[in-house]
């Protein structure tokens, strides 16, 4: 690199640092990342951690831990279309299904996308794959055959999350929709 090129890079780095950017090194190349990009990366990681935490809570059948990421006034619509308002109601229905039809179930989740609407508001779409259940709610059927002979229930969850004054992401609204078997 020429002296002029070296000076140009140094000026860019100094300007970026003064403007509050972070400098990352990737495969020997320097890439400047703005605060907004870092906030997006942080939000993505924090939201993915919430989804992973909920999946782990489901697999322990721990309704309190599963509901812990909802705000006290959150709304949730389950796969039957039933609406639950408030964290106590959401935890209550989760306690009930963990004690009955989903008491032996296992959940695997795949995050499909996270949209950061504003720095404090996000929408996440992800898919559940639930197996090992003892029964399914009335009118719900397995999405696909499963190794256990009962099948796998796939659902698509959509959450709206808000970042609070404490910088913690919380679920303010959720909707879970059963994915029906492919029509043949």
In the numeric block, which tokens belong to residue 115? 């949209």
Residue 52 lies in a domain: yes
Query: Are 21 and 77 within one domain?
Result: no
CB atoms < 10 A from the CB of 177, how many? 14
Residue 183 lies in a domain: no
Rounded to 5°, angle at Cα 30 from 26 and 36: 90
Residue 39 lies in a domain: no
Residue 40 lies in a domain: no
Residue 59 lies in a domain: yes
Residue 3 confidence (pLDDT): 43
Query: Are 100 and 51 within one domain?
Result: yes
Residue 8 lies in a domain: yes
Q: Measured between alpha carbons, how far is 135 from 73 in angstroms, rounded to an integer?
A: 30
Query: Are 22 and 101 within one domain?
Result: no
Query: Are 26 and 61 within one domain?
Result: no
Q: Residue 146 is part of a domain; what is its CATH number? A: 3.10.450.50
* pLDDT tens series, the chain, 184 aa: 444 343 333 333 333 333 443 333 334 333 444 445 555 678 999 999 999 999 999 999 999 999 999 999 999 999 999 999 999 999 999 999 999 999 999 999 999 999 999 999 999 999 999 999 999 999 999 999 877 778 999 999 999 999 999 999 999 999 999 998 876 6
Query: Are 22 and 56 within one domain?
Result: no
Query: Are 23 and 55 within one domain?
Result: no
Residue 42 lies in a domain: no
Residue 19 confidence (pLDDT): 40
Residue 57 confidence (pLDDT): 98
Query: Are 165 and 95 within one domain?
Result: yes
Q: Measured between alpha carbons, how far is 144 from 179 in angstroms, rounded to an integer?
A: 9
Residue 184 confidence (pLDDT): 64
* Nearest of 31, 103, 90 to residue 64 by alpha carbon: 90
CB atoms < 10 A from the CB of 174, how many? 20
Residue 184 lies in a domain: no
Domains in the chain, number? 2
Report CA 140 to chain centroid distance, whole Å: 23
Residue 33 confidence (pLDDT): 45
Query: Are 134 and 110 within one domain?
Result: yes
Query: Are 67 and 11 within one domain?
Result: no
Query: Are 12 and 75 within one domain?
Result: no
Query: Are 3 and 88 within one domain?
Result: no
Q: Measured between alpha carbons, how far is 13 from 9 in angstroms, rounded to an integer?
A: 6
3-state SS record for the chain: CCHHHHHHHHHHHHHHHHCCCEEEEECCEEEEECHHHHHHHHHHHHHHHHHHHHHHHHHHCCHHHHHCCEEEEEEEECCCCCEEECHHHHHHHHHHHHHCCCCCCEEEEEEEEEEEEECCEEEEEEEEEEECCCCCCCCCCCCECCCCCCCEEEEEEEEEEEECCCCCEEEEEEEEEECCCCCC
Range of the domain at 165: 47-178
Query: Are 95 and 120 within one domain?
Result: yes
């Amino acid at each position: 690199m020429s002296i002029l090129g070296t000076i140009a890079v140094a000026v860019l780095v100094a300007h970026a640092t003064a403007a509050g950017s972070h400098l990352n090194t990737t495969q020997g190349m320097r890439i400047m990342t703005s605060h907004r990009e870092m906030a997006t990366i942080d939000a993505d990681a924090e939201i993915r951690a919430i989804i992973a935490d909920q999946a782990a809570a489901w697999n322990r059948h721990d309704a309190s831990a599963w509901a812990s990421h909802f705000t006290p006034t959150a709304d949730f619509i389950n796969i039957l279309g039933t609406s639950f308002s408030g964290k106590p109601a959401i935890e209550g229905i989760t306690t009930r299904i963990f004690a009955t039809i989903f008491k032996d179930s296992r959940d695997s989740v795949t995050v499909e996308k996270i949209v950061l609407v504003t720095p404090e508001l996000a929408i996440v779409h992800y898919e559940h794959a639930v197996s090992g259940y003892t029964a399914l709610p009335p009118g719900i059927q397995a999405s696909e055959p499963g190794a256990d002979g009962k099948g796998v229930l796939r659902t698509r969850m959509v959450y709206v999350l808000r970042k609070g004054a404490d910088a913690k992401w919380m679920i303010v609204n959720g909707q879970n929709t059963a994915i029906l078997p492919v029509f043949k």
